[in-house]
Each structure stands twice: as structure tokens, then as C-alpha cells.
């Protein structure tokens, strides 16, 4: 294990204009040159959109509901994080992936514009998960309090300002969700919504199954629904990041599986903050047919 201080709250450095944590920015050439394989599957999200939930769903489907296989290792081992980089000796995502046998399952938070070209040259499948801006901000704020490599979020009031400016790791929410939405025209992208998954998990898991070219029985789908419920994942050490040291993820501050609800933003946004976000939302979402639900 590397000494704790190596992990403490990295600076953000612009990579093609997107604020990215320093160790990732320092390794950018290698990440950009990453060699995808045609059967790679990418799960892409803006942070806190339900990445881990989708990863667990995908892994359960790929393993035909065989939960022994799905519970064989923590999420970051089963489903490596493409761009993540920490100071040596911790291996970077690209190093881990180069040594991973196919078919590979890969997580990324990169905006569409920063995805290594090789994924598109091989026409890889991508599942994108989007979550409404207000719940994303609340979830990201709590995460940045407990994730010790990310910049400290400051107060909630300060954080709302940073979030709206896109001055957070992986940049702005608006650019991210819109960039990937437009990319659907050119690539094999299944664009999913957290709110839909909460509303009807089985319907949404079925969509993912079809996209992956699988045909599981009703019983197996039901089993996967149970296994990927918030309650089950919160208790599952292979999904809840409890194996990550507290020097990186301090779950005494806030749990990784924090609340798992739609509309928790109502418990955090003041009337003024809400108006500010609504105004920005109207401005930035004009001219796109991408629509979000802030409650279900």
C-alpha cells in the first residue's frame, strides 16, 4: 500500500479544457493512446449517475445471473476504471486493462470528446447512464467530502457554484450529458437514465440485456433485480467499496451507497439555489431534445 499522503486531494488540471485530476492529466498521452478491442464494453457516466449500479447489472447479465461469479471480486477489479491514475506503485487503469483478458468491462467518466479514438475505430458498445443535475450535484457533494483524492467540495453553497461552472473533476454536467446524447447518432450507445432505473428496474435491466445480446429467463431477470437493488448493493462488500481503504474513501463521513433515491435534492437545495440551477438548465438545455426528470 502506498503512503496515505500520496492520495490526498489532487489538483485539477485542464485536459482539452476539461478539469481532470492531476495524476490523470499527467498520464494523458497514455490514456489517449489506449487500444480498445472490438468486444470491449464501456460503461460511461458523469460521476454519481449510478455507475456502480449499472456495472453490477451488466456484470450480472454477462454472467447469466451466476452470482458466485459476480461476487468473486470488488467492483474495481471486475470492471477496471479506464482513466484512473494514482502515483506509483498503484497501477493505472490502462495498465490493469492491458493485462485483462477479453471480453473486458470498462468504466469511464470521460466526456465523449475525450474518449480514446480506438473505441470508435472498433465500434465498441457503450452504456451511458445519466442522472438529473440536482441529484447528481447532491450525490457528488457528499462523495467529494469522503473521497480523499478529489478536491474538497467546500460548503454546499460553494459547491453549487462550482458544479454549475463545471469546476469539478471530469468537468461540467451539461457538456457531459449533452455530448454523449449527441454521440448516439454515430455509435452503438445505449443511453439510460437513473430515474427510469428507479422507476422500473426490471424494465431497464431488460433493455440492458437486449443491448448486450442476451436473452435471460424471467426468473434470472428477477434474481438480477434483487441482487442489484440499493439494499442488496449497500450490504454487498463486492459492490459497496467497503474494501477501499478509508484513507481514500472515508465512509465514516458519508457512505458510498448513501441514499439511492430520486429527489433527495429537495432536502439540500435552497429556493435560490434551485432557481439558479433551473435558469442555467433552461439556458444550457435549449436546442436539445434531451429531457430529465427531477422527480418520479
List, by residue number, the catalytic residues.
Answer: 109
Binding status of residue 50 toward ligand A3P by CB under 6 A: yes
Neighbours of 180 (CB within 10 A): 25
Binding status of residue 74 toward ligand A3P by CB under 6 A: no
Binding status of residue 27 toward ligand A3P by CB under 6 A: no
Asked if 111 and 172 count as a contact pair (C-beta separation under 8 A), the reply is: no
Instruction: Number of residues interacting with ligand A3P: please give it, by CB under 6 A.
Output: 20
- Rounded least distance, CB 239 to ligand A3P, Å: 7
Sort residue 163 into left (φ over 0), alpha (ψ -120 to 50) or beta: alpha
Distances (CA, A) of 194 to 36, 88, 201, 242: 27, 35, 10, 23
Binding status of residue 146 toward ligand A3P by CB under 6 A: no
Cis status, amide bond into 223, omega within 30 of 0: no
Nearer to ligand A3P, 104 or 107 (CB): 107
Neighbours of 68 (CB within 10 A): 7
- Rounded least distance, CB 294 to ligand A3P, Å: 13
Identify the residue among 18, 20, 44, 49 touching ligand A3P (CB under 6 A): 49
- Rounded least distance, CB 81 to ligand A3P, Å: 11
Identify the residue among 28, 156, 230, 294 touching ligand A3P (CB under 6 A): 230
Binding status of residue 107 toward ligand A3P by CB under 6 A: no
Identify the residue among 20, 27, 42, 51 touching ligand A3P (CB under 6 A): 51
Binding status of residue 108 toward ligand A3P by CB under 6 A: no
Binding status of residue 259 toward ligand A3P by CB under 6 A: yes
Asked if 23 and 13 count as a contact pair (C-beta separation under 8 A), the reply is: no
Q: Per residue in 112-134, is it b (16+ CB within 10 Å) or e — as a string?
A: bebbbeebbeeebbbbbbbbbbb
Binding status of residue 159 toward ligand A3P by CB under 6 A: no
Nearer to ligand A3P, 40 or 144 (CB): 144
Neighbours of 249 (CB within 10 A): 19
Nearer to ligand A3P, 114 or 233 (CB): 233
* 71's grid cell: 461476487
Identify the residue among 7, 48, 79, 104 touching ligand A3P (CB under 6 A): 48
- Sign of the dihedral through C-alpha 197, 201, 203, 207: positive
- Rounded least distance, CB 226 to ligand A3P, Å: 11
Q: Long-range pairs for 153-156 at CB < 8 Å and ≥24 separation?
A: 156/268
Binding status of residue 104 toward ligand A3P by CB under 6 A: no
Residues of this chain that interact with ligand A3P (CB under 6 A) are 45, 47-53, 135, 139, 142, 228-230, 233, 257-260, 264
Amino acid at each position: 500500500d502506498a503512503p496515505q499522503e500520496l492520495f490526498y486531494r489532487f489538483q485539477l488540471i485542464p485536459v482539452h479544457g476539461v478539469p481532470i485530476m492531476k495524476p490523470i492529466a499527467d498520464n494523458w498521452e497514455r490514456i489517449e493512446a489506449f487500444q480498445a478491442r472490438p468486444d470491449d464494453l464501456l460503461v460511461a457516466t458523469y460521476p454519481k449517475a449510478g455507475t456502480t449500479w449499472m456495472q453490477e447489472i451488466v456484470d450480472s447479465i454477462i454472467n447469466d445471473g451466476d452470482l458466485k461469479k459476480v461476487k468473486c471480486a470488488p467492483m474495481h477489479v471486475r470492471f477496471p476504471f479506464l482513466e484512473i491514475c494514482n502515483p506509483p506503485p498503484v497501477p493505472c487503469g490502462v495498465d490493469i486493462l492491458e493485462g485483462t483478458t477479453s471480453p473486458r468491462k470498462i468504466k469511464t467518466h470521460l466526456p465523449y470528446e475525450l474518449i480514446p479514438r480506438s473505441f470508435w475505430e472498433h465500434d465498441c458498445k457503450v452504456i451511458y447512464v445519466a442522472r438529473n443535475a440536482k441529484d447528481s450535484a447532491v450525490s457528488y457533494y457528499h462523495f467529494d467530502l469522503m473521497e480523499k483524492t478529489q478536491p474538497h467540495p467546500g460548503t454546499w453553497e460553494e459547491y453549487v457554484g462550482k458544479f454549475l461552472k463545471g469546476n469539478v473533476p471530469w468537468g461540467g454536467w451539461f457538456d457531459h450529458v449533452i455530448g454523449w446524447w449527441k454521440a448516439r447518432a454515430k455509435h452503438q450507445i445505449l443511453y439510460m437514465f437513473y430515474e427510469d432505473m428507479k422507476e422500473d428496474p426490471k424494465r431497464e435491466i431488460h433493455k440492458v440485456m437486449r443491448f448486450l445480446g442476451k436473452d435471460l429467463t424471467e426468473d434470472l431477470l428477477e434474481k438480477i433485480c434483487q441482487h442489484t437493488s440499493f439494499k442488496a448493493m449497500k450490504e454487498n462488500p463486492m459492490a459497496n467499496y467497503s474494501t477501499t481503504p478509508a484513507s481514500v474513501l472515508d465512509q465514516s463521513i458519508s457512505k458510498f451507497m448513501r441514499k439511492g433515491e430520486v429527489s433527495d435534492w429537495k432536502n439540500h437545495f435552497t429556493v435560490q439555489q434551485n432557481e439558479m440551477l433551473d435558469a442555467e438548465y433552461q439556458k444550457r438545455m435549449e436546442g436539445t431534445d434531451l429531457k430529465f426528470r427531477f422527480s418520479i
